[in-house]
Each structure stands twice: as structure tokens, then as C-alpha cells.
Amino acid sequence: MTATVRIPTPLRSATGGAATVAVDGTTVGEVVRSLDAAHPGVAERILDDNGRVRRFVNVFVDDEDIRFAGGLETAVPDGATVSIIPAVAGG
């Protein structure tokens, strides 16, 4: 089960500059672990000390915000795109 992870600019220093990374995983949590295995140090940027997604990190599986789905347990279908996007505000 392969997913494409879209890496935001501030995180690309940890992915050797890559804007997208293909990794294995059936849940968002597994995808993050796979990403960290391929690019050590990425996980601590996305997850806090308690292993939860950081307050200012949004994760989407295709177009679904994982906070509306199952959080780190959200299923990642084969071929899905996982987007990591820093929170932004405005209005």
C-alpha cells in the first residue's frame, strides 16, 4: 500500500528537498512512521512528545482533514495522497 506524502516547504530540509515522498502504510500513523524511517527526524516535527499530531500541523488524506476522520488511525487507501500542511489563519 503506497501513499504519496506532500511535504510543505519548511519540512523539506528533513526530506533532502523532496516535495513529495512515496511511502508505505495503511494508516496515517504508519505513513508517518514510514516517512521517518526514510527521512529520520521527520516524525518529531509532525508529532509532539506524546505522539499526537502537533497543534499547528494539519494532515489531510486526499481531501479529508484527519481530525474529522480517525486522527492518526485514519485509513490511507492505496494510491492516496497525504498532505502535511502547516495551519494557517485569517479571514
The C-alpha cell of 49 is what?
Answer: 512528545
Between residues 49 and 78, which has the closer beta carbon with respect to other proteins? 49
Interface mask toward other proteins for 22-61; x: CB under 8 A: -----------------------x--------xxxxx-x-
Interface mask toward other proteins for 59-88; x: CB under 8 A: -x----x-xx--------------x-xxxx
* b (16+ CB within 10 A) / e for 31-55: bbbbbbebbeebbeebbeeeeebee
Please identify which residue in the block is written with the cell numbers 502504510.
25
